[in-house]
Amino acid sequence: MARPTDSPFGAPMPRVEELGRTCQSMPAAFRTGASTIGSDDNEGITMIARQSTTCASQNAQISDSATRVRDTNASRRRPGAKVWGLTGLLGLLWLTALAFAGGAQAQATVPLGTDTSFAVLGGSTVTNTGPSVINGDVGVHPGTAVTGFPPGTVNGTIHAANAVAGQAQSDLTVAYNSAAGRACQVVLTGQDLGGMTLTSGVYCFSSSAQLTGTLTLDGQGNAGAVFIFQIGSTLTTASASSVSFINGAQSCNVFWQVGSSAVLGTTTTFRGNILALTSITATTGATVDGRLLARNGAVTLDSNVVTRAQCATPPDVTGPAVGIGSPVGGSPVGPNPPGSGPGNPPGSSSACVARDFRVWIGARDASKIRSVKVFLDGRLIKQTTHGQFYVWIRAARLDARRHTIRAVAIDRAGNRTSQTRRFNRCERPLFTQLAG
């Protein structure tokens, strides 16, 4: 039986309400701290899929528990009762840190207006060399010249300095400002995008951005996941570089806001909508699933294929929602595995768990939940018809490496939704709880 002076989280009950209030103020602070972490690191330390109401719900429960415990303590104090100390508090704070350093927040899409019908739009000129194929409209405004068609092919309409092109430029300005005005969530200045796997959010570069190799964008099962890249000056891709998608990400929801010009290297396979302040150059053989939209300068093409991105039919909004909540129980979380050196902050790639812990699984749907399954590294560990429950993760028995928790919810209409999060298992416990 739990001691009246103890909380179920291993922290003194008189501090619980204070911790609950801290929980409300931590998201912004930890997003700021997480902004200096690479995507792969961020994914590795993320153990939960936190929705915005989770913290508030926990605060209400904690506050109610605190009131009841204070009443109990006032009427019944056991002589010599011990209180869990700083270790328990540190463990809770580390868990909370992981909860809020989990990833960038979801974003609304960038409004393209009439630009949705365009594959290419220039400010001064649009020029083409070679047998380019443009699947969508081509336009220019306030310039008047669209050249190179033929030999290029336009499977759409060419709008040269007409009212349609003028409106498209006005809408491009709105879209550009919308993308540029989003709050940066992850700073990537000085890092090459090649080799990264990123989830939806706003990523920013104070100056130039470079892509060498493959950038993977992970929709996490959400076809509406939005990715925004804010680039202070130039965007450049090396030859044969690519942007690839997994888990439902779509080109129509990827936006590259470029502060000056973009250059796509030869045979680059690019995805997303480039909104450039000045010019865009697609060199020989580059292909684009998205749009090339330049506000003031030229769009220059050379034997390219450009296809305007169109979103697939949105998923059934009546489908289930599923989330993996905050870890609770006796699982201290360490700042670094043995031998990695001290002083790593919460949210670093070396954050890990050492002992068993529980995670809250929540699923909801208007047509009722048929079943919820929880997998650990692909192995089924829990199946239930309940929409909300806890599941034990026996971390103490796992190998010291990265592990994956996956929750799958199925509603009575047969719609299926999944959520995946990962965590690192330490090589040994990093905190020792005080004996009670």
Distance between CA atoms of residues 423 and 356, nearest Å: 12
What's the token pair of residue 425? 């298992």
For 310-331, the pLDDT digits (tens) are 887 544 445 677 777 756 654 3
| CATH architecture assignment, domain 13-103+316-424 | Sandwich (2.60)
For 59-93, the pLDDT digits (tens) are 444 445 444 544 444 444 444 333 334 434 334 33
Find residue 306's DSSP bridge partners.
Answer: 134, 288
| pLDDT tops 50 at residue 25 | no
Q: How many CA atoms lie within 13 A of 171 on its CB side?
A: 18
Q: Are 152 and 282 in contact (CB under 8 A)?
A: no
What's the token pair of residue 340? 């990695």
Listed by start position, the domains of the chain span 13-103+316-424, 113-307
Please tell me what DSSP assigns to residue 435. Answer: P
Query: What is the structure's pLDDT at 296?
Result: 97
Pairing of strands 369-376, 379-384: antiparallel
Amino acid at 215: L
Distance between CA atoms of residues 248 and 242, nearest Å: 17
For 186-242, the pLDDT digits (tens) are 999 999 999 999 999 999 999 999 999 999 999 998 888 999 999 999 999 999 999
> What is the chain's length?
436
